[in-house]
Amino acid sequence: MIAQPRDERDALNCHGVFLKKRVLEEVAKTPGMGVFAEEFGVTFSEPVAIDLIGVETRDDRDLLFVFECKRAYTKAKTWVFFKDIDQTFRLCRAVSWIMQFGYYSRGGDVVDSPVVCSEGYELVASENSFKANQRPVFEAGNQLSKGFLGFVSTRMSQKIRPSSPLNRTLECIVPVLVTTAGLYVAAFDLSRISLQTGNLEGNLELTPQDWLILKHPFSEMTNTSFRDFRKDSPHGQDSKHWSQMHRESLFVVNSTKLPQFLSGRFRDYLANLSMQ
């Protein structure tokens, strides 16, 4: 094997392919898990490729993890998130032989009690200042949401139809955004925000997180020929939490903490939930 010149390696390092390959290896070597697919093509209003899909088969259900990998320069970039007013989120979308539905929980009830957030910003550090930009986090959330919903839609069309063989296995599908950026949650005194300027005039504290939940806004597509299955769910929990109909709850995980996130504890929690 010939070692490649550094400039060729660095050129490829500017993209996320090596991070995806490393995440794929981590999923593959996690006891009980396997890789279902890499670069899996789906459509949700428009074609999109999923980086990779991990799977684990349990007694009565399959746990499927839809991964999007996002690389950032860890020394210069961090992601800062803000808590959502409602800590209830959609833990997964489940597809049975009858219907698709969301399973909802609160952050404090889940393994490791992740913080549930409404939005995130990328902070870029220079020698003299910081710059904040919401677009990188928002675009990564859009990419994952399209792939995740496209995969859910694919599984619905394959399982919920009269011609399909009866398969009573429940599929719990979870969207995961893996990033090399450091993750932080902002804490501040709301009374120290000026209604005149909109600026925070008090202290800002940033608390590091291994992983968290982002309730990402992902609205209905305007393409009239496209059917968005989210607005037609007959399940009572989806009706109860209809304010989240067009928000996708994404698990955002720092890449160095991925082994802990994939640990048996979290997967056992998903496998043991009573989903009615």
pTM recorded for the entire structure: 0.91
The amino acid present at 48, given as its one-letter code, is: V
Q: What are the pLDDT digits (tens) for 90-132? A: 999 999 888 889 999 998 899 889 999 999 999 998 878 889 9
Straight-line distance from the first to the last Cα atom of the chain, in angstroms, rounded to the nearest whole number = 54
- Read off the pLDDT of residues 202-231 as tens digits, 9 standing for 90 and up: 999 999 999 999 999 998 766 666 778 888
CA 165 to chain centre: 31
Convert the pLDDT of each residue in 145-196 to its tens digit: 999 999 999 998 887 766 655 566 789 999 999 999 999 999 999 999 999 9
Q: Which amino acid is at 257?
A: K
Does residue 271 register a pLDDT over 90?
A: no
- Over the stretch 50-101, which tens digit does the pLDDT of each residue have? 999 999 988 778 999 999 999 987 677 899 999 999 999 999 999 988 888 9
Question: Which residue is listed with tokens 């806004």?
Answer: 217
Residue 276 has pLDDT above 60, yes or no: no
Residue 4 above 60 pLDDT? no
The domain locations on the chain are 30-207+214-264
pLDDT(2) > 80: no
pLDDT at 173: 95
- Residue 173: count other Cβ atoms within 10 Å of its Cβ: 20
Q: Reduced to 3 states, what is the DSSP secondary structure of residue 142?
A: helix
